[in-house]
């Protein structure tokens, strides 16, 4: 099953966001989310398709501060 991950990543330094996005594609959603949760300098929002092809989303705890209320 090929899973595509799209999303927004904020990190310090900013130059690392492209490399992180590529790494997250290889890792998959669960491992990428775990990676982000263990590094508080990374906030991410993921859009991906599950095993049934349905679009799903998830985000790190830190990303929630960027959402409009």
Q: What is the pLDDT of residue 45?
A: 86
Q: What is the pLDDT of residue 2?
A: 40
Q: What is the pLDDT of residue 1?
A: 40
pLDDT per residue as tens, the chain (69 positions): 445 555 667 777 666 778 888 888 888 889 999 999 898 888 888 888 888 889 899 988 888 887 765
Dihedral sign from CA coordinates of 54, 4, 42, 39: positive
Using alpha carbons, list the distances in angstroms from residue 15 to 10, 12, 18, 19, 21. Answer: 10, 8, 7, 8, 11
Q: What is the pLDDT of residue 32?
A: 92
- pTM, two decimals, is 0.74
């Amino acid at each position: 099953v090929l899973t595509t991950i799209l999303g927004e990543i904020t990190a310090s330094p900013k130059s690392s966001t492209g490399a992180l996005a590529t790494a997250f594609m290889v890792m998959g959603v669960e491992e990428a989310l775990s990676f982000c949760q263990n590094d508080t300098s990374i906030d991410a929002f993921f859009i991906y398709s599950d095993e049934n092809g349905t679009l799903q989303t998830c985000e790190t705890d830190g990303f929630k501060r960027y959402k409009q209320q």
